[in-house]
Amino acid sequence: MLDERDDEPFVSLRSVMDDAAQETLRAGHIVRRLRDFVARGEVDKSLHELPQVIAEASLLALVGARERGIRSFFAVDPAATLVLVDRVQIQQVLVNLMRNAIEAMAECPVRDLKVATRLRPDGLIEVTVEDTGPGIADGIREQLFTAFNSTKADGMGLGLSICRTIIEAHGGRIWMERPDRGGTRFHFTLIHARAEEEHGG
């Protein structure tokens, strides 16, 4: 048994395994706390302008991006402006998606990041974050928003799971598409502030 060995390599391995187990427990605790938090309805919603929310998130997400050859483009639908959201939580989603996109394009000749919004016919606001990276393999796509599933060698696989929890707590949904021309495109929806008010949200 591993615990019965005192050889230095085995002691080091045991330490690594113990650390990994602790990280897994800690990560699971974070996810459970966040899900419990939003399940109780403790989302601090207030009225915000979505373009400003995106602009503030991009300032953080794009730190160092230009030096890495990233070109960023923003297309904001003027009709998709007012949202009733927890600003910090939605910015966490945006930062996570943008940082993932930047990392995915690290070895690509074309490194374009696009963020767009639109007001859909059903009254929902759709936000899209698209990159020109290598895309995500089909085998991973089905589990993409599951905790502890990561496309990164050193990732814990929590980011997209937390994003889904936040978006669903806001009454929206999040999903991924692979454009025909390549890359990855993430979408999530938010309820337009006007629609939220009409339904007494």
| Per-residue pLDDT tens listing for the chain (201 residues) | 444 445 555 556 666 566 656 655 655 555 566 666 666 666 788 999 999 999 999 999 999 999 999 999 999 999 999 999 999 899 989 999 999 999 999 999 999 999 999 999 999 999 999 999 998 877 666 667 675 444 443 443 457 888 998 999 999 999 999 888 889 999 999 999 876 555 554
What pLDDT sits at residue 82?
95
Please count the structural domains in the chain: 2
Q: H-type helices in 40-184, by residue range?
A: 50-61, 87-104, 138-141, 159-169
CATH number at residue 159: 3.30.565.10
What is the Cα–Cα distance from 169 to 153, expressed in whole angstroms?
A: 29
Same domain, 136 and 54: yes
Q: Do both 58 and 15 map to the same domain?
A: no
Question: What is the pLDDT at residue 137?
Answer: 73
Residues 151 and 193 in one domain: yes
CB 79 within 8 A of CB 119: yes
Q: Where are the alpha helices (DSSP H) in 105-143?
A: 138-141
Q: CB-side exposure of 94: number of CA atoms within 13 Å?
A: 29
pTM score: 0.75
pLDDT for the residue numbered 16: 57
- Residues 86, 180, single domain; the answer is yes
Put the strands of the sheet holding 184-191 in their side by side order.
71-75, 112-119, 124-131, 184-191, 174-177
Both 84 and 161 in a single domain?
A: yes
Residues 24, 57 share a domain: no
Which domain range does residue 11 map to?
1-42
**pLDDT at residue number 155:** 40
pLDDT at 3: 47
Q: Specify whether 99 is located in the same domain as 14.
A: no
Same domain, yes or no: 14 and 69: no
Same domain, 51 and 99: yes
Same domain, 188 and 116: yes
Same domain, 61 and 147: yes
- DSSP 3-state helix, strand, coil percentages of the chain (rounded to 5)? 45, 20, 35
Q: Are 83 and 68 contained in the same domain? A: yes
